[in-house]
Structure formats: C-alpha cells, structure tokens
Structure 1
Amino acid sequence: MKVIDIFAGAGGLSEGFRQEGFDIVAHVEMDNHACDTLKTREAYYYLKEKNQLYIYKNYLLGRITREEFYNLIPQQVLSKVIEAEINNSTIPKIFNEIDRQLDGDSIQFIIGGPPCQAYSTAGISRDPNRMKDDPRNYFYRYYMRFLKKYKPKAFVFENVRGILTAQEGRVFKNIKRNMNIAGYKIDYRILNAKDFGVSQDRERVIIIGWKKEIEFSYPHFNKSESPLSIRELFSDLPKLHAGEDVNGIGKYISNIPALGQIRNPSWDILTYHIARPHNNNDLEIYRYVVDVWNNENRLIKYNELPKEVQTHNNKKTFLDRYKVLKLEEVSHTIVAHISKDGHYYIHPDIKQNRSITVREAARIQSFPDDFYFERSRTAAFKQIGNAVPPMMAKLIASELKKIESEN
C-alpha cells in the first residue's frame, strides 16, 4: 500500500497511515524545519525496524548531533523526504525523485492538504481583499497534477471548512469538477477530531476520492471512545512554571496506561516539555483568566480584564485573545498561531500559571511522545498547529484499507 504525502508538513497524516501499515514512499514539503522533522521520523522507523532505537534515544538525549545522527541512517531512507515548494517549475523534478523512490512500483494512495490560509476565517478577515488574489487559492491544481501522474486508487484531501465557501463556492466547485475529469468519484464530510479519540475540538473537511471503477463509498466512521480530558492527557507530565523545562530520561512523574497511543508504556524519554517565558503582565492576565474560569465557569473577553493589564488599543475585535484550556474537557482547536504566542492556550492549573508546552500541544494533536519535532520550540509549535492529528489519520487509513483488500 504505497503512499505519497504531499504538502506533508510535519507528517501527521503520514504518521497515521504508517501506523496502519501503509508504506510512505515520499513526503513532499517546502518548510525546511518540517523536512528535518520528517527525516527524523523516517530515521525513527528505520531504527525501530532494526532494533536499534538506542541510536535515536542517544540523539534525543543530545549525545550525538543531528548531522551525526543522520549519517548513521541510509541515504535512501532520508531521501524519502523531498524538500521543495510544489509549483509548475519544480513538479518535474519532484516527479523524477518520486519515480526513483518507486523503482518501477506503482502508487495506490495520495494524501495531503494544500496550505489553507487562503480559505481560513482568520486569513480572510485580515486581508482587505479577502484572499481573492492569493495564489494559495489554486494549490489544489498541483494536487491534481499528482493524481493525473500517479493515478492512485484513492486519495485523501484535507482542508479547513472555508474551502467549501471560498470565492462564493467557486473554488470547491472547481475542485470537484477537476477530480471528476481526472477519473475519480469524490465525497466529503466535515469531520471532528474529537470523534476520532483526539483530545481536541477540531473540525476539518476531509475529501476522499476513489477511481470510478472501484466499488467504494465514503466511510461511516463510528465515534471512538470518549477522548481523554486535558486533566487525563497531562496527568503524567511534570508541573512547570513559565520559562521552565523538564526533558530527559525518567522525567515522567507516573506511568499512565490509559494514555494508549500517546505514550507507549516502554517509552521513557520526555522531550519538548518546555514552557515559554512570559512577561509579568501576561502572567497577571493568565492568573486572572484561570481564576475566573475556576470560580465563575466563564471565559474572559479582553475588554473585561482589569484596566491596568489592558495594553492593546484594540478593544472591539479579537476579544477572545486569552483563552484557558478546560481541565475536564478536550482542547479547542490548536492552530499555527501558537508559534507566535501562547495566549490562546493557557494551562488550566493556576499554580503553574503559563501557556502549554510543545509536548502538551503535541499530545492535544495526538502525536505520540516518541515523535520529535525539529529545530526549535517556535518551529515545533508551528508544525503541530498545521498538522492533521495522527489518531484521526489512522482511523481514516484503516477504512481505506478496504479499497486495497476488496478491489
């Protein structure tokens, strides 16, 4: 079951497909930091298969550099990651590299989600032209090039809800027409990650297409068991204050079997449990917001904060810029803006008084603890915010296996 992951990001989609036994032939991604994350994950799976995970652990513990680590991995493993912007001038070279990886084999599935900023509510609201001239409106055309070249049995196309209504619906109408011309039946649903066991209220459009001659229909996804609450999800992580970090072997405070896919019981290295430093004003706001939630069960608008901590002149729009996670519920949607600040993701424990760590954000997105994000805290937050939750991808992948087994 060979798969190409395009617009791959940090590899949330491919991680879920891989966990279901699919063979990821290539990841195509333009962001350098995300490409290193993909390479490191490829190295992890290679070493796991060879029973040499001690090498991976030595890297996470800082005993060898990234360069030394990559030098211990065969080049054909790392070369599955193709670092390139997908456009008309680069596609021929990308195709050549994928063909080299395939070595005569064929592709059964293509997965990926083109950049969504042109369709997102936030992106449209900030652009005076409402993103109408943004070239990212048409990135789906590059997806079509891959479908026409590799003719997979099926594909998964992920995006934000706004893709359905962009440019008064013309974008989505064109997507459907082009996919039909390429020889595919398609259907879509707005799916919520929390229905797939992910500790996050995250709605996304998932388009699934399959060749017209294949007997298939859009899967009916039975709701998973209730996702873990934030309290349960964070229960084995050390408590931190703003600016602190706890990383390394044996740093978990307990073993929690209920964490399931998030933390394998044998995994003992905690990484990226790093809390941002915050200025005193933000710390005062965080404390106030959490206190109001704990005592009044309501979220504070910016213009309701004490006057002495209100430093922004804009007190009429974007008033929910400070938001606390709710201990007994799942998180609201993690987005890439978390890389800029943590105000929308305040830890619910008033004693810790901080925004969430990279590892906590990764868990909310259902990335396993053995998944390492490359380069920096900021880069990791961005990669996490842009990702498809692997737990959601895994259940989608399990349904697509039927195409391979029944056709």
Structure 2
Amino acid sequence: MSYIPTTSISSTVIPSIPILSFFTGAGFLDLGFKQVGFQPIWSNEANPFFVRGFEYAMSQLFKTADSIKITNTTSIADITSDQIRYEAFGAQSPPDIFGIIGGPPCPDFSIGGKNRGHEGDNGKLSLVYIQQILALQPTFFVFENVPGLISTKKHRVFFERLKSLLSPKYTLSMRVLNALEFGVAQDRPRVFLIGILHEWMNAHVDQHSSISQDDWFPWPTDPRYNDAKNRFLWPTTSPFGSEPDQPIGIPSELMVNHWIGDTNSLTQLPNGGETFTPHSDKFMRIAEGDVWSRSFRRLHRWRYSPTVAYGNNEVHLHPIYPRRLTVREALRLQSIPDTYVLPSNIALTHKFKMISNGVPLILAQKVAEACWKLLTGQTDKVNQKNYA
C-alpha cells in the first residue's frame, strides 16, 4: 500500500527554488515543498522537543551521513531580518526567486482553544511572521492557519489587518482547503494565504491570459474528492466490537481503515507500538464512530478522522481496539511515510503535539505544486519526489 501520492516525474529538471521555513515543527510543510522541487535552505523552530524530533526524523528519512539541523532555534520575535538573511544567503544577495513558508501557532485562533486571538502569545507571532515577510521580501510566501482566523469576527478583523499590511507589496489570494478533499482520511480545513510580489506578477503573468484578477492563483482541486463530506453516504456509529460493513462508492483512501487497518504490520514499524496506556473504562464503552463528544472520540474504520489534534482533553481512540492511536497511526493519518521516524527519547505528549500541528503531507504537496506551477510556468511538469 502506498501512503504518498505518486506523480510522473518530469524529464525536464528545473533548478530548485530555495525556501525559508518558519515554525518548522515536524517539517511536514517543508516535506511537501521539497517533494515538488523546492529546496529548504533555512528553518526555524523554538520548541526544543520539536527541534529534536525534526532533526532525528529528517536524518532518518533522507539517510544522510550528517545530521539535518534546524538553522535557528530562537523565537522569530527575537531574530532580526538581517540575521535571517545572513543565515540563509550568507554575504550574497538573495536569489531572484525564493519563498517563505510557515503556519504560525494557531491555538489562539482555534474555535476549540482559548480564543485569545492576536493578543495571545501564539497569536502575536502571526503579526511577527508578516513583519518578517515584509522585511525579507521573498518572491512568494505561504501563510497557513486554522479556519477560526476568518470565521470568528474579531479574528477576521485581525486577519484583514495582516492582509492590508501585505497588499502594498504582494498580490494576495486566500482559500480554505480541506485535506479530506485531496485524498487524506481527515476532516482538516485550513486557511491558506498566498502572496506573490507585485513586481514579479507584472513581469511574468500575462494580464490577458486566463488568470483573472480575482483568481490568479492556480489553487489545487481534485474532482475525485470534491465536497467529500456531503457527497458520500458516510456511516455514523457502530457498537464497539461489531463488524460494520464497508460502504460502497466511497474512495477507500478517505477511510481510516485504509491508513491504519493493517495493525499487525503497523506494530512492527518504528513508533508502531508507542501509545498511552489506557486506564479509563471509556475505552471499552464508546461506540465506533462516536466522535461528537468533547474528549474521547472513537474513529470509525469506514469513515474519515476528525482533525488530527491530540492534546489537552481530546483523545482519539482506535476503531477496533480499546486504546488510543499510536504515534505511527497518527503519522499515517497525516499521510506521512513510514520512513519518517520520531526518536524514542521524546515524550509521547510532545510527539503527538508535533504530529497534530503539521500540515498533512498530501495537502502540503498539492499547495507546493500549485506554487511551483505558477513560478516556473510548468503547468504539467512537476519535479515530484516520493519518500515512501
């Protein structure tokens, strides 16, 4: 079974486009961009557990002789743009085309969070991220966050302020993309804001082409999964321990079982046996598919998962076993390959938080592919790599 989408590799090799990665975390967004042909040359992560996890996992994934390192481990609020520029490019001027990608910490904008918005410690970093973009002036940038940033009135006002800061320099396009509509078995809507320098747009995008002023960015879509939540007849709940029939007509990759159903082989993989020990009788009582409670949610094998967001009081249970998901199962639901391995010397809490914060790799790759197509003019040739 393949857990990473495959695309034919172009015979025309296009030089890599460098990117700077902010809030790198587990590196899922970086992987998606690298998969297409971009080259991360600078990274930033201030959480020491995430740093350790990223460096170990990436070194394992790429089997490098030298360990892959996070470039800078200081909060971006405490780094100057000159320092970032020097660490990324040295004494040389930045290249003609480079990008910045990142998803500022989102709990302050999450509907299920404390709702402190831009006044929270995490929320403030969104403004700092935009300020760093304006100071460094990349050719393009990607800003990713939770939909609460636009669905909650006071957060939307802040988001519009961020866009107003960017609009004098950048042509902007925003869309909410749900991982479920790209072949990931997870209901995970996220806001993506893309910006391209006005000068680059004016020089490279034909104003008489089919790209309209309001819809210039080639946002990815996949007709196989459009409106998947409403389009298919999903099962609801089944008694725990029963054997519900697999629905007909739903793509298997949109179901949890496709990713974590091979339990015997999964337990033999790295991170395959790592999970919290169950102590509550809730692990035996909650029905398969009952994901509507605030805390304990049992996934349904023939349905998609709620947003992978383990932490605080939210616990996701295995469809057929009386336990939580394992680290490997959580990585699978984020469409991460089995060759991505987190180290044994990091607590489970930090591992699950790392995984929860990441962009599903399939979705990250689709966004990266759209950026690549716009920047290179290669509408049907993408230098995709496969890490499976």
Q: Structure 2-normalised TM-score?
A: 0.74
Q: Please show how residues 256-275 of structure 1 align to structure 2 within 5 Å.
A: 269-275=269-275
Distance of 2:74 and 2:101 partners within structure 1: 17
Deviates more, 1:133-142 or 1:108-117: 133-142
Amino acid at match of 1:234: I
Tell me which residue corresponds to 1:175: 162
Aligned counterpart in structure 2 of residue 231 of structure 1, from 248, 252, 257 = 257
Tell me which residue corresponds to 2:240: none
Q: Does 1:18 align with 2:34?
A: yes
Q: Does 1:299 align with 2:264?
A: no
Distance of 1:194 and 1:101 partners within structure 2: 43
Aligned counterpart in structure 2 of residue 144 of structure 1, from 115, 122, 130 = 130
Q: Does 1:332 align with 2:306?
A: yes
Tell me which residue corresponds to 1:73: 66
CA-CA distance at 1:47 after TM superposition: 3.1
Distance of 1:43 and 1:25 partners within structure 2: 15
CA-CA distance at 1:87 after TM superposition: 0.6
**Percent identity, aligned pairs only?**
26
Tell me which residue corresponds to 1:377: 348
Task: Call closer, same or farther: CA 1:105–1:168 in 2, change over 3 Å.
Answer: closer
Distance of 1:199 and 1:366 partners within structure 2: 9
Distance of 1:300 and 1:116 partners within structure 2: 22
Distance of 1:345 and 1:46 partners within structure 2: 30
Q: Does 1:111 align with 2:120?
A: no
CA-CA distance at 1:93 after TM superposition: 3.5
Q: Does 1:399 align with 2:386?
A: no
Aligned counterpart in structure 2 of residue 360 of structure 1, from 321, 329, 343 = 329
Tell me which residue corresponds to 1:52: none
* Secondary structure class of the residue paired with 1:83: coil
Distance of 2:79 and 2:372 partners within structure 1: 34
Q: Does 1:86 align with 2:76?
A: yes
Q: How many residues align?
A: 319
Q: Say whether the 8 Å CA contact 2:85–2:136 is kept in structure 1.
A: no
Distance of 1:115 and 1:88 partners within structure 2: 16
CA-CA distance at 1:398 after TM superposition: 0.9
Amino acid at match of 2:137: K
Deviates more, 1:84-93 or 1:10-19: 84-93
CA-CA distance at 1:228 after TM superposition: 3.9
CA-CA distance at 1:239 after TM superposition: 8.1
Task: Call closer, same or farther: CA 1:189–1:20 in 2, change over 3 Å.
Answer: same
Distance of 1:327 and 1:92 partners within structure 2: 50
Q: Name the structure with the higher helix share.
A: 1
Task: Call closer, same or farther: CA 1:149–1:107 in 2, change over 3 Å.
Answer: farther
Distance of 1:40 and 1:173 partners within structure 2: 38
Q: Say whether the 8 Å CA contact 1:5–1:24 is kept in structure 2.
A: yes
Q: Say whether the 8 Å CA contact 1:197–1:224 is kept in structure 2.
A: no
Distance of 2:277 and 2:316 partners within structure 1: 14
Amino acid at match of 2:271: T
Q: Does 1:4 align with 2:30?
A: no
Over the aligned positions, Cα root-mean-square deviation in angstroms equals: 2.7
Q: Please show how residues 169-318 of structure 1 align to structure 2 within 5 Å.
A: 169-181=156-168, 183-213=169-199, 214=201, 215=205, 217-223=216-222, 225=224, 226=251, 227-238=253-264, 246=267, 251=268, 269-279=269-279, 282=280, 284-290=281-287, 293=288, 299=290
Q: Say whether the 8 Å CA contact 2:19–2:98 is kept in structure 1.
A: yes
Task: Call closer, same or farther: CA 1:168–1:400 in 2, change over 3 Å.
Answer: closer
Aligned counterpart in structure 1 of residue 139 of structure 2, from 137, 153, 156 = 153
Q: Say whether the 8 Å CA contact 1:153–1:210 is kept in structure 2.
A: yes
Task: Call closer, same or farther: CA 1:180–1:222 in 2, change over 3 Å.
Answer: same
Distance of 1:300 and 1:372 partners within structure 2: 28
* Secondary structure class of the residue paired with 1:270: coil
Tell me which residue corresponds to 1:312: none
Q: 1 or 2 for the larger relative contact order (CA 8 Å, sep ≥6)? A: 2
Task: Call closer, same or farther: CA 1:385–1:361 in 2, change over 3 Å.
Answer: same
CA-CA distance at 1:272 after TM superposition: 4.0
User: What per-residue deviation string (whole Å, max 9, x for no partner) do you get for residues 46-89 of structure 1?
Assistant: 536xxxxxxxxxxxxxxxxxxxxxxx516xx53x5321111145
Deviates more, 1:371-380 or 1:151-160: 371-380
Distance of 2:18 and 2:118 partners within structure 1: 36
Distance of 1:238 and 1:123 partners within structure 2: 36
Task: Call closer, same or farther: CA 1:90–1:273 in 2, change over 3 Å.
Answer: farther
Q: Does 1:97 align with 2:83?
A: no
Distance of 1:107 and 1:300 partners within structure 2: 44
Task: Call closer, same or farther: CA 1:378–1:344 in 2, change over 3 Å.
Answer: closer
Distance of 2:278 and 2:145 partners within structure 1: 32
User: What per-residue deviation string (whole Å, max 9, x for no partner) do you get for residues 291-315 of structure 1?
Assistant: xx4xxxx7387xxxxxxxxxxxxxx
CA-CA distance at 1:391 after TM superposition: 1.0
* Secondary structure class of the residue paired with 1:144: helix
* Secondary structure class of the residue paired with 1:327: coil
The gaps in structure 1 that reach 5 residues or longer are 49-71, 241-245, 252-268, 302-318
Deviates more, 1:269-278 or 1:183-192: 269-278
* Secondary structure class of the residue paired with 1:8: coil
Amino acid at match of 2:77: N
User: What per-residue deviation string (whole Å, max 9, x for no partner) do you get for residues 217-273 of structure 1?
Assistant: 122422265434111211333289xxxxx4xxxx3xxxxxxxxxxxxxxxxx53343
* Secondary structure class of the residue paired with 2:43: strand
